[in-house]
Structure formats: C-alpha cells, structure tokens
Structure 1
Amino acid sequence: MKQLKLTKEKIGIILVLILSGILNLANLSIENYGNEYYAAGVKSMVLNFKNFFFVSFDPAGFVSIDKPPLGFWIQAISAKIFGFSGWSILLPQALAGIISVALIYYIVKRSFGYAAGIIAAICLAITPVFVATSRNNTIDNLLVLVLLISCVFLSKAAEKGKFKYLIISLIFVGLGFNIKMLEAYMIGPAIYITYLISSAVPVRKRIKHLVIGTIVLAAVSLSWATIVDLVPSQNRPFVGSSTNNTVMELIFGHNGLARLSSSNGGMGGGPGGNGQKSQNFGSNSYSMKNSSSNKNMSNIQGAPPSQNGNNSGSNTQNSGIGNIKNARGEMQGGMQDKGLGGSGSSNLQGSFGGQTTAGLTRLFSKNILSDQIVWFLPMALFGIIASFILKKIKRPFNSKAKLDVILWSLWLIPEFIYFSYTKGLFHPYYLTMLAPPIAALSGIGITSMWKLYKENGIKSWLLPISFIVEGLVHSLMLSYFTSSIPSTIKGIIIAALVLCFAASAILIIHKIVKKQVLNKAENIKFSKVLVILALVGILTTPAIGASAAITHSLSSSIPSAGLELLSNNSSKSGDSMMGSGRNGSGNDQKLIEFLDKNVKTEKYALVVSSANNAGNIIIESGKSIMAIGGFAGSDNIISLNEFKQLVKKGEVRYVLAGGMGRSSGDIMSWVEKNGKAVSTSEWKDTTINNNFGKQTQTYNNDNKSSSSTSTQNGKDSTNSGRTGGMNESEILYDLKGTVK
C-alpha cells in the first residue's frame, strides 16, 4: 500500500482547508435554524416522500417553498441522517464551502501551479460573503459547488476536446438549475465561449457538441419541473410563489423575469422575492424612504380590533392589514435593519442589492454590498491583465492555462457588470457567485505579476501597483466602519494596511535599485519576502470580517459577514426568529400547547395568512399549518368557497389573523366576521418581556426623526413591527360551527 507523504504542498492545502473548516463550522449552533422558511420546509420534507419530492413547506403538503428541490433534498437527507436540527440543515452548506475551497485549489493549481492554487484557495476561504452563505441554509454555496465541479470538467473538455467531459460539465450546470434555477445559468457565457474558442477539435465539431450539450442541459434542468407540472394539482402542493400553480411559471416569473424588474425593489414571492420576509420589522431603527411611508406606518399603528366579538373592529382590522400590505414595499426599501446587513451604526445604503446606486462603483460604495465581495476584486482584474500578457492569450487557444484564464474571466466580468448595474432583485449573499472567479484570478494574477516583476518594462510594475490599489480599496472599506468597529480591530487593520503599502513601496524602490545592492538570487529572495508581506496585508482585513461570523450570529434570511458584523449595535436583536414573522419560539410555545390540547381530528392544526407566520410553529411542533397565501400571503391558492368546505368538513378550525404578512383578503375578512375570538390568555404568553415592544421606534425622513406610539386597550404601546405592537394585533379565531 502506497504511503501518504505529507509534502509542503499537501501541508499547505490541508492548513487552508482547516481554516475553511473553522470559519464554516465553528460555533455553527449560534445560527439556530437559519432561515426558518426553508428550515420549516426541510422539517416537512423529512416526514414523508411526497413532501420530500415536492419540497412542501408544510407537513400537510398544502404549498411548496419557492425554490427547486436539489439543495433542500441534500439538507433533508442530512436531517434524516443526523436528526432534524439547526446544525444538521446548515452542515451541507458548510461542507460545500470547504469542498469548493479544495476545488478552486485543484483547478488553479492544475494550470498555474501550487502558489497560484494556494492563494486562490485562501482568498475564497476568507471572502466574507462566501463564509456567510456557508453558515446559512440558503443554498447559494451548494450552487457554487456544483458550478465549480462543472468547471473542472469544462476545463478538461476545452483542453482535450472531449465531448463526454462537456456533457458532464453541462449536467452539473443542470443540477445547479435544480438548486437555484436561472441563477445557475450565469456561468453559461463562460462555459459556452470557452469551449467554442478552444482549438482541440474542429469548429464544426465544437458547435455540434454544444448543440447536443444544450439539449442535455435543458433536459436535466427541466426534469423535476416537468414531472411536477404533469402531476395533477390536487395530488401535490401548490407551487409556492407561482401565479398559475406550475413550476414553469415559477422559473420564468418569480425566479426569472421578476428578478430583473426594478419595480420589485427587493420584493418577491419568497426569500428575496415578492414580499420578502417580514424580518425587516424587527429592527430598532427604521429609515423611511418618504413621507408616504410614514403615513402608511401611522395607519399600521392603528389600534387592533376588539377581541371579544365576532364583528367588532373587523373593519379596523381589514384596514390595518391593507395598510400593512401597502406600506410593506416602502418600508422594506428604506429599512436599514442590522439583521439584513443594513446600516446599523454605519448607515449603509439599502436593504436589497437593487436598492443601491447602480454603476461600476456599486460594489465599492457605502452600501450593504460593500464589504462582502470587493476585497480581492482589484487583484482579480489586475490578474486578468497580467495573465493575458504573460500567456500571450490569443489564437490558437490550445493550452489549459489560456483556456482557464478565459473561463474565469468570462465568469467574473459578465456577473460583475450584472451586479453593478441591475436594478432588479438581488441580495448581498448572491454575491457569493463572484467569489470563485475573483479568488481564482487573484491567485493566477499574483503569480503572473510576480513573473512579470522579475522582467523589465512597464509590465513589471503591475505587481506593486496592484497591491497599492488593493490597499486603497481596503482603506475605503475601513472608512465606512472606522467609527463603529472596536479600536483593537481597527488597529490591526491599519497595521495590515501599513504593511501592504510599505511592502509595495519597497518593491518599487527595490525594482529601481536592486542591481546596485544584491545579487540575482538575493534580489529574488528579498522581493519574494516583500510580496508575502504585502499579501498578508491584503488578507488580514477580509479574514477578520469572515471570522466575525464565528462569534456574531448572521441575519437568518439575508446572511452577510464582513466588518459590518463587528460594528457597534450589530447584535441581531429579534433576528433569531427572522423568517417566522412572529415572536419566535418563546411566544409560540403557549400557542403550540393550546393546539395540542384542542386540535384532535382536524387536518390543519392552524391556518395563517402567510408562511411568515408558520415557520417557527412547524419547526417546533411539526404541526400542519396552512399558509393560505403562501410565502408572503399573496399566492392565490384557495378560494373562499373552498376554504368554507374545509371548515364544513372539520379539516380547519383555528385561524390566526392579523400580525405580520399580507392577509389573504376575502378569507381573512370572512374569518373575522364569522369566527369566535379565542381569549388571548388561552394561547399567548403575555408575561414574556418584549424589549422591542417597549421601545419607541424612530423614523427618519429627510433627516428628520419622529417618534410614534399607539394606544391599545387603553395603554400606550409602541409599535415595533415583528414583535410587540404588530404582533399584539394577532387574534386567534375558532371557526367551529360557522359553516353548517
């Protein structure tokens, strides 16, 4: 048996993988269940195969989550093996991050050597947004993993002209489609163009290969969607966030063209979709976009209806819910919730990517995207220039090094342009799609510029200049948080920047005078030390931002790491229950106990307006909760007559109205008019000290602030959104005997 020898190279990548493992796995339990909407879906999926296959959100299979199945199948399998827990559903993403680091090392090393591979692996491992998505049950890093596997085979296909490798590559893209739908196709230009320009086989053969490969890609991509749409609607869950109960519409609607529309402003049918989770309401300070938002908010804070009569106050309730619905888009557009990677003490712009100012400087500007991905972006761009010069990239494209540079460049540049200019829907964690090409091109770039540095001419200055530009970008990022991060952290970052600038300056000086001081070998050795010092300088700050995720819990719905996590007042108060739209497990416990006691034969233990109000209950109890409006309460799933029939058959008895999320109009109106309100003392724990509910919310409009409170049951009560005021308007209705 061949012995495993630990060479310096193997030790190096092992250490990087250990670093990635620590960043992705250490203290993972602080993330709880991550996004509760998705976690509830996984809880339902492990109950039976039908829920598993159709990615049902609820145990009864009423409505599905708004994403394709593969990522959640993996989470459900993990939960089945290790038992359902927050750790078991977060584990697949953490492992995907670690494996991705290993893959980036392998791909880059294969064409550019060990040094380039190890630098690329380090850069990917410590990119803040990459770490954040590795520690959350959003499925973007599972997508990144399958796309990197696709790149492994595409690189071999382009180099050797092997048709089978191209097919395997496109199969993995198809699998990526079944993780995040059209987002997987963002790598399409890189794959198609790289293979098309390769010189391994005649051009006609390449075109033929790509045509056949496209058919295979389409077949794999649409396989699950086709099966689901062929199943009669009565035999499966409603396709959540679709308008016509088909996956095809979901692909091209909510998860497709709707994402390109600036009118969405971050609203969608699911997380990051129409009616993005109501977690925005949980912050201590809101920044309202305009006066109309403030008017809507004043309506939201109206007193809830009386709880001791069927009809009393129902008009008030309907009005309040309607105003919540109208105000939601404005509120989410302007909110700077810390839990959303929002401003906090650093006043970053926007809650969603499309709300930030579009342009080439978007990813560098003072907004919620700023410290997630840009850390190595300048180095990657310099890397493209240096590698094109060094490898003399022009026809014929007959080497794996040339083809890999083109592959990574065509992955990076179109996506960089898209995320810089799109006014449609995207969240900070989507930027993890940029992390692999940036990391790869940084490793390729530094080693390429090092070779050019040892030569003469203008091209030899690329290396020190790139380090200086990197240092300036890092300084810009620091300036956004200089008054909000701890002084010790600030001191370390400043020291790292000084090291980077000093090493770069000495590289320049040494380039000028080296022949007069040292011999050739000594010159190279001294220059190499300076490059390592400059590299340490540019790795320090993103490493600090990434490691902050170990000690600071992330936003459950919109995970982001970076210096923002270290800012003052960055605690995710109320964020642990983000995604439920309710008060979290503490305040749901009495409701669960009430349902345990009173629900006997009903198919649905509880009906709520949206999945926002059901996630935590499903996670904690496994009960069948009907979200009549899907994720955000806006899906047209069931008619009033159909709902009445369920009540008549005894399948539905209790309905929770009010609270967060958009009410499903006529059904909730009918419930409020005909149902009997259950005494709050029977199902809600009113003794829990809700700090948010007792804090006065401040609304900033045109640099002016105002404070508002509402009066409820004769007492002044501050409206806090997710917790406190809004939730106090929830009413539990008993529908027993309402339909004969």
Structure 2
Amino acid sequence: MRARLPLLLLSAGTAVLYLWRLGDSGWANAYYSAAAQAGAESWHAWFFGATDPAGAITVDKAPAATWVMGLSARLFGVNAWSILAPQALMGVASVWLLHAAVRRAAGEAAGLIAGAVLALTPVAVLMFRFNNPDALMVLLLVAGAYGTVRATEEASARWLALAGAAVGFAFLAKMLQAFLVLPAFGSVYLAFAPATWWRKVRHLAAALGAVVVAGGWWVLAVELTPAGSRPYVGGSQGDSVLELALGYNGLGRLTGEEIGSVGGGGRGSSGWARLLGAEMGGQIAWLLPTSLVLLAAGWWAGRATERIGLALWGGWLAVTAAVFSFMNGIIHAYYTVALAPAIGAVTGIGAVALWRRRREPVAAAALSGALAVTALQCYLLLLDWSAPLAAVVLVLGLVGAVGLFLAAAAPAAAVVPVAVVAALLGPGAYSVATAATPHSGAIPSAGPAPANRSGGLVLVGPGGATGNVRGGGGMGGLLSAPTPGDELVALLRDSEGRTWAAAAVGSNNAAGYQLGSGAPVMAVGGFNGTDPAPTLEEFQELVRSGRIHYFLGGAMMPAETGSDAAERIADWVAETFTATTVDGVDVYDLTAGAQR
C-alpha cells in the first residue's frame, strides 16, 4: 500500500483539480451539450449523434463522446455535472494509464513525473473540464499507447490488437486526428518487439484490421442507413460520414480547403513557432522545449526499455507537433491537449534516465540545462499574468539547475524537490487558474481568461483569430449559444404536438434555445449554417405539414464556401411571415400562415 501511495495521491489530486467547481462552466460547449440532451431523450438521436431529439442533423464529428455524455445525462438528468463529469473522470483515468505505461518502460518515478506533467498541463485541465471530444480521444490514445508498450514487451498480437481497437474507437471521437499516433505505434512495434519480421508484420496487419473495425462499424452503419431514416451528417455537403472524415475533419484541416467553413477559425501562421506562440504557448508550451532536450539526452543516457519508451512517446510528440505546426486549415489552441501525454512521458523517462547517470558530467549538464530551459520558458509564459510568480519560478529554476549540475556532490533530498517545484509551479498555478475560471463557447482557452499572452522562448504571436469571432443569432452567434429569456422559454415549451418547437440558423443558436427550454430546436445549416440541411424546399414542406412551430431569427456569418440553403430559408421566412420580438429575439410563427 505504501508503494502505491504516491499514485493514489496523484490520482486524488487530479480528481480534485478536475472536479472542483466543475458546474461553474454551465453547459460549456452548448453544441455538444445539446447533443447529449438529445441522446438522453432519444436512442435514435443518441446513436447518430443528432443535435436535437427529432434528429434533424448530427454534430460534425463521430458521436463517441456524445454517447458517453448522453448516457450520463440519461442516468443523472440533463445538467452541467452529468455532462462535464465524464470528461473529468476521463482525465483521471488518462493520468493513471499514462503512469502505468511509462512505469513499465522507466520505473515508478518516471511514471509519476509523466502523470503529474499531464495532470498539470493547462490545456489538459481545460479539456478534461470541458465537453469537447478531445477528452475521450486522449484517454483512448493513452490506452492505445499502453497496449503498444505491452505488445512490444511480449510480441503480443492480442495487446497490439487492443491498442489498434483503442485508436480505432478514438476515431469515433475526433476522426482522423486520432490516427496521428499510428506511425509511432507501428514503428516501435516493428523495431523493438522480440519476434521475426514476418510475425511482426502479421501482427501489425491484424492490429490495423482492429483499427478499421473499431472505427469503421459506425461509419458503415450510417452509410448503409437510408438518408430519410437518419439525421443529416453535419459538416458534410453530401450527407456522408466519409466526406466528413476525409474532407472537413481530415485533409481539409491540412490543406485549408474545408468546404463549409465561414472563416475566422484560428488558422494562424504555420511553422514551428505556432506551438510556442501567443495563441498556443500558454496551453501547452510549458515543458515542450524541455521535453525535446530530454528526448535527445534521455536517448543517450537511457537503457533499452527507456529508449523504447522514448521512441514511442517521442514519435507521438514529433508527428502530432509537426502536423499542428504546419497544417493550413482550421486549428484551435485546445487541440494541443493531444501533445500533453507525450510531453509528460518524454519528460519523465528522460529525467529519470539522466538522473541515474547524474555523476557523469554530460548527464548532469543535460539535466541542468533542461531545468534552466524550463525555468526560462515558464518565466516568459507567466510574465504577462503574474510577474512575481514568474520571478519566483525563474529563481527556483536557476537554483535547481545549479544543484543538478553539481548533482554528484549536492544531496538529492535538497535538489530534487527544488527541481520538481521549479518545473511544475508555473503550469500548476496556471492550471489552478484555469480550473477556477468558467469556460464556455466553441473555442475555449486555458488560463484565467481566454486572452493572448506571450508564447515563451519564441515570442511570436501567430496571426489569425483567437476564437473571438462572433456572429449574431438573436442573443447568440456562430461560436456562442444564447440564453433565452423566460417569455421565450414559455413560448417554446408551448409547442406540444410539433416535431420541432423551433428552427434557428446555426447549431449554437439552436443549442442555446433547446437547452434553455428543453424543447427540440432544429439547427438549420448545421454548425456553420453552411450545410444543405434542410434545403429550402424541404423546409417549406416541413412548414406546410406543421412540424415546425417557430423560426428564431438573427444575423448570420457569411459563408466562404458551402451551401447557402440556410440563408435562403431565413430570407424566405422573413419575406413570408411577420416577426414579433420576444426577449429581444425575432420570432416567426410558422403555423400562422403566410402574412405577407
């Protein structure tokens, strides 16, 4: 029991940090909260990931994350805690699994360091307290890494297949982003598993099959279901999951050719400076330069199992960082949570490998330099937020770096605590500030406020949006959800017998009205309002059949590409019906007959 006490304390501390005042964020991302609400009311909506119980259109991702939230909401009611708590528990599980995976490669100390770094990475605190799909994806990818570690130790086809299944299911959370770890997983198994090349190739082929089955069964189910018997696939222009996965959520993110985008999506300037720049630095860059130092030095100092671990997690880090740095499509700072497990693992493995050889001048110098880089990076990241704390971290880091350089003579009991505090105080304080700050909307940002700050060693702020683009939609917009007033809520609830109480352009507008009233609201045009769902003719037929009671008006963001069906619908409603103003929102009664 005593041997497991540090892990228990780490897990308990992570749970407190991730669950503390969790309900303050309310619906967080109302887009996914509305899908969870829909799934709690309708199994049909739950399976397809629809944003309303009647199943007009799906979220623009596969629905694995909304499955979890929908089940929780079905069990515990639709509220902030039932929707957000599953992500927090996924965070605790991710820390535990990361510790388990790293411990097998480099021992208990390395596992604890890795888990602590993940737990205290600000963007991880943000996303494990939020309801975007990233939390589930990270958990599944860490599970896949653990399976790969076990498989590589034993040349086990079973463990490798389990790793493949985890990655495949992660595809159902965040689509093609989940596959960025596959090059590292496959290369490590091929290079280090104790088996013949032919046997390893067979195992990899079977694991790839597991990826396809775990990620493809739902895609096949949707593609085989007649379009009239399921919701429209949000985010696609052709009502196709394959188009969504390969286009808007796939290659389009690399090339910038995302059909249906309305712009303002945080593309920014590509290049290595992006991860250290103003938009992303405070999210992930605290130990990023340090991990690169420890990756190289740890490979030199490490044992065979440690090198395997560094190859696995270093490969994950390198591929994911390269893609995030150079992709030309929509990218948001919170995507960088996918780097946090790899940074934690590399830091833990590299630090332990070097500490073991600390009496050698090269190892001592590498340890000292890594901590000095950490102190400088954290100082720069903290400077705009808390100059006194930045100074404390810098001083502690430099004192610790001197101690590590003299590690052969300095007592470990004095050097190690100073080094650990110096490395984790900055991101830890920023993480506590993140947990203490409510976050909502489509593009959350870690920290005490979603503002740009200096990025650290590379003081370059990438151009582009930071997630503050707003389009009016009544009281909401493209990226934020409205909170309907009491009179409007009463109006929407008085729509029994209608399939949809109302329709509104854009998923966040619809989500706000639906969550506030509990009545189903159709998201015309999907998230961006640029999906051809429904078409004007389909909407007119729904109105004639009395299935939609109200249309809630508001301004829209202009579309760069994609369908103009939502704009045409809004124009037709405005030309055909008379608006009344309810709680500041233009409301059109579609059951009153043509008024103009």
* Structure 2 residue 369 is matched with structure 1 residue 465: yes
Change (3 A) 1:639 1:106: closer
| 1:453 pairs with 2:358 | yes
Change (3 A) 1:405 1:649: same
The equivalent residue for 1:362 is 274
User: Is the counterpart of residue 602 in structure 1 residue 498 in structure 2?
Assistant: yes
Question: What's the secondary structure of 2:285's corresponding residue?
Answer: helix
Instruction: Name the residue aligned to 2:234.
Output: 240
Q: From 285, 291, 300, give the equivalent of 1:374.
A: 285
**Contact 2:254-2:328 within 8 A present in 1 as well:** yes
Of 225-234 and 637-646, more deviation after overlay is shown by 637-646
* Deviations 1:321-363 (CA, angstroms, capped at 9, x unpaired): xxxxxxxx3xx36xxxxxxxxxxxxxxxxxx2x31x3222222
Name the CA distance, whole Å, in 2 between partners of 1:578 and 1:102: 39
Question: Aligned partners of 2:482, 2:518: CA distance in 1, in Å?
Answer: 15
1:187: Cα distance to partner? 0.6
What is the match of residue 584 of structure 1? 482
Rounded to whole Å, the distance in 2 between the matches of 1:551 and 1:152 is 32
Aligned equivalent of 1:611: 507
Find the counterpart in structure 2 of residue 411 from structure 1. Answer: 316
Do the aligned residues in 2 keep the contact of 1:42 with 1:75 (CA within 8 Å)? yes
Cα shift at 1:647:
2.2
Equivalence map 1:272-311=2 (5 Å): 274-275=261-262
Counterpart contact for 2:543–2:590, Cα < 8 Å: no
Corresponding residue number in structure 2 for 1:665: 567
Secondary structure of 1:655's counterpart equals strand
Cα deviation for residue 665 of structure 1 reads 2.7
> Among the aligned pairs, what percent are the same residue?
31
Task: Name the CA distance, whole Å, in 1 between partners of 2:538 and 2:583.
Answer: 33
Instruction: Specify the alignment match of 1:429 in structure 2.
Output: 334
| 1:388 aligns to 2:299 (yes or no) | yes
Q: Does 1:628 align with 2:524?
A: yes
Distance in 1 (CA, whole Å) between partners of 2:479 and 2:279 is 22
TM-score normalised by length of structure 1: 0.73
| Matching of residue 736 in structure 1 with residue 589 in structure 2 | no
Offset at residue 386 of structure 1 (A): 2.4
Deviations 1:36-58 (A, max 9, x none): 01101111111121111111111
How far off is 1:605 after superposition?
1.4
User: Aligned to 1:453, what secondary structure does the other structure show?
Assistant: coil
The 8 Å contact of residues 588 and 617 in structure 1, kept in 2 or not, is answered as no
Give the structure 2 partner of residue 444 of structure 1.
Answer: 349
Query: CA offsets, 1:508-541, max 9 Å, x none?
Result: 3x36xx6xxxxxxxx36x1452232122112101
The residue correspondences of 1:73-152 to structure 2 (distance < 5 A) are 73-152=67-146
- Is the Cα contact below 8 Å between 1:136 and 1:556 reproduced in 2? no
Indicate conservation of the 8 Å contact 2:62/2:175, yes or no: yes
What residue in structure 2 maps to residue 538 of structure 1? 423
Asked if 1 retains the 8 angstrom alpha-carbon contact of 2:380 and 2:390, the reply is no
Partner of 1:292: none
Residue 563 of structure 1 and its aligned partner are, at CA, apart by 6.0
Q: Contact 1:116–1:446 (CA<8 Å) still a contact in 2?
A: yes
- Separation of aligned partners in 2, 1:500 and 1:652: 62
Q: TM-score, normalised by structure 2?
A: 0.90
Rounded to whole Å, the distance in 1 between the matches of 2:570 and 2:443 is: 30
| Aligned residues of 1:170 and 1:217 also touching (Cα < 8 A) | yes
Contact 2:505 2:529 in 1 (8 A): yes
Q: Deviations over 1:141-184 (max 9, x none)?
A: 21111111111111111111111111111011111111111111
Query: Does the 8 A contact of 1:500 with 1:535 survive in 2?
Result: no
Match of 2:434 among 549, 557, 572: 549
| Residues 35 and 137 in structure 1, CA contact (< 8 A), matched pair in contact too | yes
Residues 240 and 566 of structure 1, relative CA distance in 2, 3 Å threshold: closer
Deviation at 1:733, TM superposition (A): 4.7
The verdict on how the C-alpha distance between 1:579 and 1:32 changes in structure 2, with shifts beyond 3 A counting, is farther
The equivalent residue for 1:225 is: 219
Partner Cα distance (2:193, 2:550) in 1: 67
Q: Number of matched residues? A: 573
Structure of higher CA gyration radius? 1
Instruction: Write the letter of the residue equivalent to 1:638.
Output: P
Aligned amino acid, residue 499 of structure 1:
L
Provide runs of 4+ in structure 1 moved above 6 Å: 577-583
Residue identity in the other structure for 1:501: L
| Amino acid aligned to 1:387 | G
Q: Distance in 1 between matches of 2:106 and 2:152?
A: 16
Q: Which residues of 2 match residues 495-534 of structure 1 at below 5 A? A: 495-508=392-405, 510=406, 523=409, 526-534=411-419
**1:65 aligned counterpart, secondary structure:** coil
1:401 equivalent in alignment to 2:395? no
Instruction: Extract unaligned runs of 5+ from structure 2.
Output: 454-465, 559-563
Q: Which amino acid aligns with 2:34?
A: A
Indicate how the Cα distance of structure 1 residues 635 and 588 shifts in structure 2: closer, same or farther if over 3 A, else same.
farther
Query: Structure 1 CA distance, aligned partners of 2:479 and 2:374?
Result: 41
Could you tell me how far 1:660 is from its partner in structure 2?
4.1
